[in-house]
Amino acid sequence: MHDDLLKRHLELVIEANKTTNITRISTWDEGMLLHVEDSLVGLPEVEEAPEGRLVDIGSGAGYPGIPLAIESGRTTLLADSVGKKTAILASMVEELGLDNVEVYTGRIEDLAREKAGVFAVVTARALAQLSVLMEFASPLLQDGGRLVCYKANVSDEELHHALSLQERLGMSLVSDRAVELGDACRRIISFEKSGRPQINLPRKTGMAQKRPL
C-alpha cells in the first residue's frame, strides 16, 4: 500500500516536471533512488523524535516530506515559499488522498511566527547550511523536538560552525550518520531543541540566509 503511494507520487512528480521545473531528476530509476529511497534514509531519525507534527521546509516536489508522511503516519506540513511549487504539491496531496498532509505557502520565518513551537520534527533536504537550518528550526520546534537535516557533503568547517551556535540557538547535536546511496553519499545530521535560544527567533525574514550567524 505504502509502496503504491510512493510510486504514484513519483509518477506525479515526473509528470509535473514536464511542464514545471520542480526537480532535476527526470527518469524513474533516478527518482526511485535519489528521491524516494533518499527521503526514507532519515526515517529512523524522524521516528526517534517525540510524537507530533512534522514540517518539511523547502519541500519542493514533496521530498522528503511526502514519503515520510506516508511511512510515519505523522501529521505533516509541506512548506515552500514558491507558490507554483505549493500549488503542485497541493494537487499531488489531493490526488494521493493523504489526509495527514497539508501545504503551506510562505517563508519559513513567517511560519515560525504563526506556529511557534508547534512541531515535533523539522526536516530539510539540500536547503541551506546547518547553522541556517538550526536557526530556521529552533522557533518551530517544541522542546525535545528534532531537526533532521539531509546533507550531501558537509565540510568540517560547516559542522564546527553549526556546533559553535548550539547554545545560542537552543539546539544540540544528537546524531550524525552517513549512508551510501548508489554512487552518492547521504548524511543525516539530527539536532534536538534542547533549550531556549539566547537570541530572538525568528529574525527578520531573509536574515538567516543573508546574514548568517
Summarize the annotated binding site for S-adenosyl-L-methionine as residue ranges. Answer: 58, 63, 108-109, 125
Q: Quote the CA–CA distance of 121 and 64 in Å, as a whole number.
A: 12
Summarize the annotated binding site as residue ranges. Answer: 58, 63, 108-109, 125
Q: What is the torsional sign of CA 89, 93, 99, 101?
A: negative
Q: Where are the domains of the chain?
A: 1-210
Q: Quote the CA–CA distance of 23 and 21 in Å, as a whole number.
A: 6
pTM over 0.85: yes
Q: Are 151 and 189 in contact (CB under 8 A)?
A: yes
Q: Please, how many CA atoms are within 13 Å of residue 196, restricted to the half-sphere of its CB?
A: 3
DSSP readout, 136-195? HHTTTEEEEEEEEEEES---HHHHHHHHHTHHHHTEEEEEEEEEEETTEEEEEEEEEE-S
Q: Are 110 and 205 in contact (CB under 8 A)?
A: yes
pLDDT at position 20? 87
β-sheet bridge partners, residue 101: 76
In the chain, which ranges are continuous DSSP H helix? Answer: 2-17, 28-31, 38-41, 43-48, 65-72, 83-96, 108-114, 130-137, 156-164, 166-169, 207-210
Q: Are 63 and 53 in contact (CB under 8 A)?
A: no
pLDDT at position 1? 67
Cβ neighbours for 120, distance < 8 A, ≥ 6 positions apart: 49, 50, 51, 52, 53, 54, 74, 141, 142, 145, 146
CATH classification code of 1-210:
3.40.50.150
Taking alpha carbons only, the member of 82, 84, 123 closest to residue 101 is 123
Give me the average pLDDT of each 10-residue run along the chain (213 residues).
92 92 88 96 98 97 98 98 96 97 98 98 95 98 98 95 98 97 94 97 94 94
pLDDT at position 65? 98
